[in-house]
Amino acid sequence: MGGMDDRRQRRIADWDRRAGTYDARTSWLERRVLAASREWIATRAAGETIEVAVGTGLNLPHLAREGDAVRLRGVDWSSAMLDRARSRALALGIDAELVVADAGTLPFEDRSADTVVCTFALCEVEDV
């Protein structure tokens, strides 16, 4: 068990280190490949929505669409990534509950969401 916990802690620390430069380092990929997919996926969210592995919040503008009744909650295991997501939400005027949590143990009641979104992060989830 210790080995898995050590690996997990190393992964979290790695994402914490990347948080400050993540958007800039992936901007070319975002523009060329990911942006359209993000928008397509996120615009299908409705009602109580949880984003798993919210990262720096790149989906937030698509999830919080003007006039939609989407209530946003997001989790990420990296507190540094969540800090970026919180800054993005604040800058965009988006009300979102963003909490540090592991994708495998979400801190929400079962069946408390209408939509769950996870984009480009399943490779980091240990028990899918």
At 71 the pLDDT is 87
The verdict on pTM exceeding 0.85 is yes
Contacts of 115 (CB under 8 A, 6+ apart): 44, 45, 46, 47, 48, 49, 50, 70
User: Do 99 and 73 contact (CB within 8 A), yes or no?
Assistant: yes
In the chain, the domains with their CATH numbers are: 2-124 (3.40.50.150)
* Tens of pLDDT, residue by residue, the chain (128 residues): 566 689 889 999 999 999 999 999 999 999 998 888 988 998 888 899 999 999 999 999 988 876 667 789 999 999 999 999 999 999 999 999 999 998 888 899 999 999 999 987 766 767 65
At 64 the pLDDT is 82
What one-character-per-residue DSSP string does 16-50 give?
Answer: HHHTTTHHHHTHHHIIIIIHHHHHHHHTT--SEEE
User: Do 82 and 47 contact (CB within 8 A), yes or no?
Assistant: no
